[in-house]
Amino acid sequence: MNRTVCQCYIAIATATCCWVAGSACAQTEDLPSWLYAPPAPATASTAGSENAPPELTEVFAEPVAVSEARRGVRVAQTSELPLTDSIAESPPLTVGALPEEWLKETSISTSDATTLSPDSVRQFLKSQAAASPIADNYRPWWESTATAPFELSPSSIVVDGDSLILEALRHSFRIAAVNENICIARTGITRAAADFDPTAFVESKFLRTSVPTGSELDAGEEVDRLREEDFSFSGGVRRKLQTGAEFEIGQQIGLRDSSSQFFTPGNQGNSRLTLSFNQPLLNGAGRAFNRSLIVLAKLDTQIENEAATTAIQDHLLSVQESMWNLYYQRASLLLRIRHLNQAKSIHDWLDKRQDLDALQSQLKRAEAAIATRNSELARAVTSIRNAEDQLRMLVNSPGLTSDKTVEIIPARPPSLALVPVSLEDAVVTALQQRSEMNEVARELDTARVRLNVAQNELLPMLDLVLETYFSGLRGSQDIGRAWIDQFSVGEPSYSAGLRFEVPLQRRAAKANILRRQAELRKLASRLSETIAKLHAEVAAAVREVETSHRELGARYVAMVSAQQYVDLISNRWRELPGDGYSANSLLEDLLDAQDRLLLEEVGFARAQIDYTLSTSRLKRATGTLLQIEPIGAGPNTVP
């Protein structure tokens, strides 16, 4: 009986559409006048008018004006009268009032009456903070299989987040390169400290002169040219002290001979021991100034160390993301396998009922669904292999790289339980642990040291210069005896003085001070910016943990509803298969419902991974990612 009623409804609707279509295709002048002119009041004469069908004059009893825009009314365009001209020249339409039951609101309204009030917004936000709809003991059906071998290769290896972090710290190429930056920076400390290392020096020189004499006082009588030979050898040690003083001790020995009659004794051997000391009193004085290069090198090493910590944590976060992406791809493969098996089950069921009520069109539709889902399955296997290679590249562990075909299996599934996080505690932890804060603090210390150096360079140069020496002299080239004489019979010679120097305008030093002060102010502003940035990042990470968990709950509800819808459609299709178009329509609904279920399950798996990664990103935001903790939980445990 219901089928007969539906067929009657279809016949009536078809006839009505044909009548409306025929009226719309007519010329404008052929349209009945009641369509575009105000109808007369409902009387006995107008009720039977030839221009309007009787059933419509009863509907349009009371005229209601329609605006010139004529929303919802479409007039057929003809070759004689363009559409724009017909609308512009036609009088305003008026139609009769609709029945009361037609005016009831049965669709979504977009009027101002549906504007959200502040109370409704607050109620909505409170509902978003409700408890998770996921039961504490709920675990997705694919978890136990996703952490088991798929036998994609002869061998397999089980990994977890903690072991991957340790292996990456030991073997990752990226982390090894970052650590080398620290070693390079440390060499700057040694180079700066090397300025205070003692330096040994040796110098030898031979000098022969032959000059004409212009006076007997130069070389004596009957000596027309003064000829001299002088060979000297000197060596010693010099060193710069951390107070800025420069100390040098040197021993000089030599041989000298001359054709002068006044040169005595002949063939001299000479020796001299010299000590010199130069101490800055203003510019360049003090341990703080002279050790500034060492301090700056240490600060640069600390800055590089903090930068390396930042890079290492970013790399470890990439390792975590890659591992969970591998789990997601494995779960996605399982979901698509079940999706394919569902299509095969439908095809097998139809194949067995070919002689009863199954249609050939249904079999072909099931075969098409199987082919489509097979192609998606091949892509899923490729995605697993790509995720394994990405993880292998990031970690570079010998256990992963020795066999490039080894199957990598995550040890445990991601967690579903919400981990409560305090924003205030997370911000405090970030300010204490984030390497960016320590990096900016070290740069501030560097700027202060350079400012102190610049202020010292503004002072004039005032040095204390001291020098003393002992000397000995012997003839017959007796250098050894001359060296002994410098200690036994020699007397000390000494000199003392001050050396002063100052640029008159000192513009370079003043400009350097202004530059260092500007750098210090810049870094102070950068510190404030870093604090604000860290606060924003931590707050976003905390909100992301909460939001991703709420999204996980929403995905769970959508997945359960999709599964229930599939069960409903499946039962209806099996129990009431129908015939002809109805049977094909039910089959199409079932296949579409399975496709939507796959999307919801994949979305739930993706949301589960996103929630787990949000906790890892929160650790990265607070600077505690290197503090290795268990990630995720087993199938029967709740963290």
DSSP string, 395-428: H--HHHHSSTTPEEEESSPPP-S-----HHHHHH
Cα dihedral angle (25, 28, 34, 36), rounded to 10 degrees? 110
Look at residue 534 in the predicted model and tell me its pLDDT.
Answer: 94
- The DSSP code for 101 is G
Residue with tokens 């268990």: 630
Can you say how many angstroms the Cα of residue 336 is from the centroid of all Cα atoms in its chain?
31
**Which architecture does CATH list for 303-441+521-622?**
Up-down Bundle (1.20)
For helices 360-395 and 161-171, the axis angle rounded to 10 degrees is: 50
Mind giving me the DSSP string for 285-318? -SHHHHTHHHHHHHHHHHHHHHHHHHHHHHHHHH
CA atoms within a 13 Å half-sphere pointing along the CA-CB vector of 524 = 7
The pTM is what?
0.71
For helices 292-352 and 161-171, the axis angle rounded to 10 degrees is: 130
- For residues 66 and 93, the answer to whether their CB atoms sit within 8 Å is yes
Cα angle value 265/271/276 (rounded, 5°): 140
- For residues 241 and 274, the answer to whether their CB atoms sit within 8 Å is no
Q: What is d(CA 477, CA 255) in angstroms, rounded to the nearest whole number?
A: 6
Amino acid letter, residue 209: T
Q: How many other C-beta atoms are found inside a 10 Å radius of the C-beta of residue 281?
A: 17
Q: What tokens does 611 get?
A: 């929630």
What averages of pLDDT result for each successive group of 10 residues across the chain (639 residues)?
Answer: 43 42 38 35 38 35 36 34 36 43 45 63 65 82 92 90 92 94 93 93 90 76 81 92 93 86 82 92 92 94 93 94 96 94 91 82 91 89 94 93 91 89 92 92 94 92 92 83 81 90 90 94 94 95 92 93 93 70 82 94 95 94 74 36
Nearest to 586, CA basis, from 419, 385, 357: 357
Three-state DSSP at 543 gives helix
Look at residue 18 in the predicted model and tell me its pLDDT.
Answer: 42
- For residues 427 and 534, the answer to whether their CB atoms sit within 8 Å is yes
Look at residue 125 in the predicted model and tell me its pLDDT.
Answer: 64
Question: According to CATH, where is 1.20.1600.10 located in the chain?
Answer: 303-441+521-622
Q: What are phi and psi of 186, to 5 degrees?
A: -65, -30
Task: Please tell me the chain's helix, strand, coil percentages from 3-state DSSP, rounded to the nearest 5.
Answer: 55, 15, 30
Q: What tokens does 333 get?
A: 């493969």
Which H or E run contains 436? helix 435-457
CA atoms within a 13 Å half-sphere pointing along the CA-CB vector of 593 = 21
Residue 111 CB-density burial (10 A; 0-12 exposed, 13-18 middle, 19+ buried)? exposed
Q: What is d(CA 34, CA 505) in angstroms, rounded to the nearest whole number?
A: 101
Look at residue 110 in the predicted model and tell me its pLDDT.
Answer: 46
Q: What is d(CA 247, CA 32) in angstroms, rounded to the nearest whole number?
A: 119
Q: What is d(CA 517, CA 529) in angstroms, rounded to the nearest whole number?
A: 18
Can you say how many angstroms the Cα of residue 207 is from the centroid of all Cα atoms in its chain?
70
Strand boundaries in 48-116, DSSP class E: 63-65, 94-96
